[in-house]
Structure 1
Amino acid sequence: MKSPLLTLAALLALATALPNSAQAQQRSGGTVTIVHGAEAIYTADPDRPTAEAFAMQGGRLLMVGSERPVREAYPDARSLDAEGRTIVPGFIDAHAHLSGLATSLLQADLVGTSSPDEIVQRLEDFAEERGLPEGAWLTGRGWDQNDWPGDASFPTREVLDEAFPERPVWLTRIDGHAGWANTAALEAAGRENIQGADDPEGGKIIRNENGEPTGVFVDAAMGMVSEAQPELTRAERVEGLRRALEQTRSKGLTGVHDAGIGMETINIYKEAIDEGNFPLRVYAMVDGRGDAFDHFCESGMMTGQRGLGYGGRLAVRSVKFYMDGALGSRGAALLADYSDDPGNRGLLRREPSAFLNDVNAALDCGFQVNTHAIGDRANRVVLDAYEQARATAGDTDPGRHRIEHAQILAPADLERFATLGIIASMQPTHATSDMPWAGERLGEERLETSYAWRSLAESGAHLAFGSDFPVEDVDPLEGFYAAVTRQDAEGNPESGWLPSERVSRRAALRSFTRGAAYAAFQEDHIGSLRAGKRADFVMLSRDIMQVPTDEILGAEVAATYLDGEKVYEMGSK
């Protein structure tokens, strides 16, 4: 038994040392900087939601609180005046495609096109601007037939053939779950073989009344054409990544969960980190059971110190699976027919028994499992598999498994997220993008438990918010605005779409910061402004927690800080 006198002596020694701890930290870790002068500092820390100032050193937060005690603790600190801006933790996008954004920035941008004619015009302009050689593939992304006049039916290859009779054209739909090819692309991919092929598991070849491919391929069928196009060179991929990182840091993103990448992409990221050209923390999900899955299963997860991974920038400990497609292309797997397409219930990308085997294999390796599921049938299959697999999993099961999107839920399944400890990784702007036509796809009854952020949160489920860029815009403020208003940028509908599912501003900020960090096992190190965590924060031109909602989208990112270092400043190149 320890002596009571010895214990008391130890406590007195500790108490005596505490007043000098600030000076000791200053001496050991370089210059201390105090950030002050903000309109407001929102910490996303439930124990101290707001603050007046904070001190940081060596990329770490030392103290967060009222300005006077912070200054008294660090009297010799350097000063960083926020000049009346609002400070929030660095935004973390819990579901995005950084490598997909990089690729899209090298292609024709078709987002916002209102007709096939406008698409053709943009393609012609792009080909001319880039000086594409004769016969080179012309690629683009962003078309959405729901935005065109008429009955929102899929386009056909003849539209593209007229403008590009010899150049292969391949255009990815905005959600990444359908592709549109011209005849030259079909010829390059083997038109006769495609015409005689059956629909692959989890995919669909859209055909005309004569059984001929129209040029549109959904989900797993997309590879029939996309795999025929030349791969990007490494130099092109590096350039695309550079452009993508310019966008992420300018929008206040300090973290991104990259949903579905392979070893080549991981190695390109590592190379950029080694060169000091990676101003972002990436939490990577390997793409299914491929080379990256095997590599990390055999060699162990890439978590590094503090769980932040390689160089504090790249963590790998999760796998991305697909259970269905997207609602816009009617590939989301539903329990009942689409209201606007009788007889069609969408597509399961994987048979339930095969998916269960995948989950079991992932748990045996120690992966967190993150599965794309949009339709209510897909969500039920995933929840069932998670429940069954975890009941027999061993010590390698890390927990905190996720469903990516979780858009359409059967009422009986909504509370299973909390019961099973499943994280709902959701994208607020999907609701405001889909709202003009989601009711036609689903009918009013199914809408009651669709895009149900608030209901899930109130049931006790953990929420993590993201954007799914490049499906949606990179800007997290658009997601924040959508979460609290359920309106589009013009303020429509006036009362919000399915307004009972709006969340508070505090809940929206939490889901884009601390909630996202929790979904990556990183909440002890990032996601809120708290002493001991990394100094990742954003300065905004407006107080998004207080201004009228119609002014939120007017806020601009004035500066982005990662590890206490400024990686972006408005107006600088």
Structure 2
Amino acid sequence: MTLSKIIPILLLFYITNVIANTTIISNIKGYSIENKQLKSFHALQFTNDKIDKLYLENDKVIIDENITVINGQGKTLLPGLIDAHGHVLSYGLSLLNVDLVGTTSEEEAVKRTLEYAKKNPDLDWIHGRGWNQVQWKKNTFPTAKTLDVVFPNQPVWLKRIDGHAGWANSKAMELAGITAKTTSPDGGEIIKDAKGRPTGVFIDNAMALIGAAIPPLTSEDKKIALKKAMHSLVSMGLTSVHDAGVDSSDIALYKSLAQSNQMPIRINAMLYLPSPEWQDTLDKGLYKSQDDLFLFNSVKIQADGALGSRGAALIEDYSDHAGNKGLLLHSSANLSKYIETAMTAGFQVNTHAIGDNANTLTLDLYEKLIDKTESQALRHRIEHAQILQLSDIPRFDQLGVIASMQATHATSDKNMAVERIGDKRILGAYAWRKLLNANAVIAAGSDFPVESPNPFFGLHASVTRQDHANTPENGWFPEEKMTRLESLKSFTIDAAYSGHQENIIGSLAEGKKADFILVEDDYFNMPEENIWKIKVLGTWVNGKQVFNIN
């Protein structure tokens, strides 16, 4: 036999006997979803990055010497959970900045910021995120004055929990050139006092006035934050995240991380429109890494602001603020231009819309432009779909538009939502059951770092409509609850569908990617009030274990 014939045989032997690594995880309570039904199994076998087989009730596990066996110790195995709306870089930066989540007063937020500054004396600017004036006793926006007492000479910039408002001290405003004469930009507001002086709070597009004075992050800064975020996310049981609003430089960073095998999680990136070089990036087309860990096939456009800062665009006035209908961040003409440009280029369009006015406007534009561009197959989405006119709910299914929603927003907003929009409009808000009954697809997420990225918090909120203290009794507007199966479906196969990835992830089946998690508790057979406490023991992505609690 010639050498030219021997080499291919040796290569085949190498591929099948060395590269092909087969593993079986046995002694598990396995769950997946198939054809909208729950499927149970007691062992899972995979080779490299693909699933070979699920061992059903009467299937016997046969193991040979070439197979690695992991004893699941009777724990629960679930498909990898997918967050259809998060902000990876912002989350990574939040892990590196002042954490203001859970503060109960303006004074406590200042105290935390000072403690952080003392631990990080080399910083030029102090950054933080997470304050929420609605949860403070005074329930009023903070002011620069309280920060100025302890930070007279160092600029401070603290973003609200939803990212739609920021709190600056006087030094930050000085560096940004903000004075009483500075006017609010379109789609934004500079909060001023009775004498017309900026108080230190900037809403939506006005935040860019402070942002312009902040030295930009370097590529290395961003890489550090992205990697920190991704490793944190897999520890919570997430195997895929849709990054809701990145720029062209972020896409380049993700490509670099994927090519150098530094991504422990799948990222589906949405290009923010408008952002620097967005048109050139669209012209280059869709992108997918060879291992499917990085995908770019969609854009993110923001129609309005957030409810907590009264930036969500409403048809009628806020119930607690006469004369205020919120903010549309783009003119109808510009919003239409961005949507049509992306659709024509073959990209899925994901539009942030929280208020009923923003949702109706977006659906109206979708109805017109989907037909014009013949792009219904792209599965366009509305991100949040938070406050809907009841007449708009059936339109999601009719237009083939996905409702990308975050369950924990309901349990976080329940203390102020009725106050903001009243008893009538609330019936179309956070309306998961009404959407499901109208055959809409709900892709679940968290909107981290606005909320915790822990997907079990979202699963718990979907099922109970309660916070972690089990309030209110029976749940907040309990008629909108999901079943446990529906909730898991929204975090798995439906979230995968919303990213055009349902053929490779979202459920556990032969030939699909080996993305799964091993958890301590049995999601389907435990008290529902404890779902948020579920502990992740291990996470596998592409057949590789990327997190181990030990």
- Place the TM-score, normalised by the shorter chain, in its bin: over 0.9
Q: Amino acid of the residue matched to residue 381 of structure 2?
A: R
Give the counterpart of 1:123 among 113, 116, 139. 113
Task: State the match for 1:52 in structure 2.
Answer: 42
1:226-246 alpha-carbon deviations (Å, 9 max, x no partner): 121112233322222222122
Q: Which structure 2 residues correspond to residues 316-465 of structure 1 after superposition, within 5 A?
A: 316-394=296-374, 398-465=377-444
Residue 154 (1) aligns with residue 141 (2)? yes
Match of 1:213 in 2: 198
Q: TM-score, normalised by structure 2?
A: 0.94
Q: Take 1:503 and 1:70, find their aligned partners in 2: how far apart are those partners? A: 35
Of 238, 254, 275, which residue of structure 1 is paired with 2:239?
A: 254
| Equivalent residue, structure 1, for 2:101 | 111
Q: 1:177-210: CA deviations, max 9, x gaps?
A: 0011111111100124xx3233212111111112
Q: Distance in 2 between matches of 1:153 and 1:31?
A: 59
Q: Give the unaligned 5+ runs of structure 2.
A: 1-12
- Structure 2 vs 1, CA of residues 76 and 166 (structure 1 numbering), >3 Å: closer, same or farther? closer
Q: CA deviation at 1:155?
A: 1.4
Change in 2 beyond 3 A, CA 1:149/1:294: same
**How far apart, in 2, do the equivalents of 1:176 and 1:229 lie?**
16
Give the C-alpha shift of residue 124 in structure 1. 0.9
Alignment partner, residue 468 of structure 2:
489
* 1:285-296 paired onto structure 2 within 5 Å: 285-291=270-276, 293-296=278-281
- What's the offset of the Cα at 1:486? 0.5
Partners of 1:359 and 1:155 lie apart in 2 by 36
Equivalent residue for 1:548?
Answer: 527
1:172 aligns with 2:159: yes
Cα distance change on mapping 1:64 and 1:75 into 2, 3 Å: farther
Name the structure 2 match of 1:238.
223
| Percent identical | 41
Q: Which amino acid aligns with 1:128?
A: K
Q: 1:391 to 1:274 in 2, by over 3 A?
A: closer
Residues 363, 398 of structure 1: 8 Å contact kept: no
> Once the 2 structures are TM-superposed, how far is the Cα of residue 45 of structure 1 from its aligned partner?
2.1
Separation (CA, whole Å) in 1 of partners of 2:360 and 2:184: 24
For residues 295 and 97 of structure 1, the distance between their equivalents in structure 2, rounded to whole angstroms, comes to: 23
Equivalent residue number for residue 41 of structure 1: 30
Match for 2:266: what amino acid? R
* 1:82 to 2:50 alignment: no
- The equivalent residue for 2:81 is 91
Q: Name the SS for the 1:61 alignment partner.
A: strand
Q: Distance in 2 between matches of 1:310 and 1:336?
A: 49
SS of structure 2 residue aligned to 1:443? helix
Q: 1:275-314 alignment to 2 at 5 Å?
A: 275-291=260-276, 293-303=278-288, 309=289, 311-314=291-294
Offset, 1:44: 2.0
Displacement of 1:530 after TM fit? Answer: 0.8
Instruction: In structure 1, list runs of 5 or more residues that go unmatched.
Output: 1-22, 304-308
Partner Cα separation in structure 1 for residue 222 and residue 278 of structure 2:
22
Distance 1:267 1:297, change over 3 A: closer
Match of 2:494 in 1: 515
Which residue number in structure 2 is paired with residue 8 of structure 1?
none
Q: Which moved more, 1:436-445 or 1:268-277?
A: 268-277
Identify which of 253, 263, 269 aligns with 2:248. Answer: 263
Distance 1:116 1:289 in 2: 34
1:473 aligned onto 2:448: no
Give the Cα separation in 2 of the matches to 1:226 and 1:523. 38
Match of 2:8 in 1: none
Q: Write the distance in 1 (CA, Å) between the matches of 2:420 and 2:341.
A: 35
1: CA distance between counterparts of 2:373 and 2:398? 17
Query: CA-to-partner distance for each residue in 1:23-55, whole Å, 9 max, x for gaps?
Result: 9x97696132222201x2111223662222222
**Amino acid across the alignment from 1:405:** H
Tell me by how many angstroms 1:444 deviates: 1.0
User: In structure 2, what is the Cα distance between the partners aligned to 1:523 and 1:437?
Assistant: 36
Equivalent pair of 2:55/2:61 in contact (CA under 8 Å)? no
Range with bigger deviation, 485-494 or 289-298 = 289-298
Q: What amino acid does structure 2 have at the position aligned with 1:158?
A: K
Contact 1:96 1:256 in 2 (8 A): yes
Q: Indicate whether 1:144 and 2:136 are aligned.
A: no
Counterpart Cα distance in 1 of 2:458 and 2:277: 30
Tell me the SS of whatever aligns to 1:448: helix
CA contact (8 A) 1:90 1:560 kept: yes
Q: Indicate the larger mover: 92-101 or 210-219.
A: 210-219
Secondary structure of the equivalent of 1:317? strand
Q: Distance in 1 between matches of 2:320 and 2:22?
A: 61
In terms of mean alpha carbon deviation, does 496-505 or 231-240 score higher?
A: 231-240
Is the Cα–Cα contact under 8 Å of residues 293 and 319 in structure 1 kept in the other structure?
Answer: no
Given that residues 466 and 479 in structure 1 are in contact (C-alpha distance below 8 angstroms), is that contact kept between their aligned partners in structure 2?
yes
Cα displacement string for residues 391-443 of structure 1 (whole angstroms, at most 9, x for unaligned residues): 2114x665200000001001111111111111000000000000011111011
SS at 1:409's partner residue? coil
Number of aligned positions between the proteins: 537
**Is the Cα contact below 8 Å between 2:376 and 2:400 reproduced in 1?**
no
Task: Mark the CA change 1:403 to 1:70 in structure 2 (over 3 Å): closer, same or farther.
Answer: farther
How far did residue 71 of structure 1 move? 2.9
**Per-residue deviation at 1:311?**
3.6
C-alpha distance in 2, partners of 1:354/1:295?
Answer: 18
Of 551-560 and 234-243, more deviation after overlay is shown by 234-243
The TM-score normalised by the length of structure 1 is: 0.90
Deviations 1:435-478 (A, max 9, x none): 01111101111111110111101101111000000000110000
How far apart in 2 are the matches of 1:317 and 1:278?
A: 18
Query: How many Å separate the matches in 2 of 1:278 and 1:89?
Result: 19
Aligned-pair CA distance for 1:75: 8.8
The Cα shift of 1:547 comes to: 0.1
Amino acid at match of 1:246: H
Give the match's secondary structure for 1:464. Answer: strand
Q: Distance in 2 between matches of 1:250 and 1:518?
A: 23
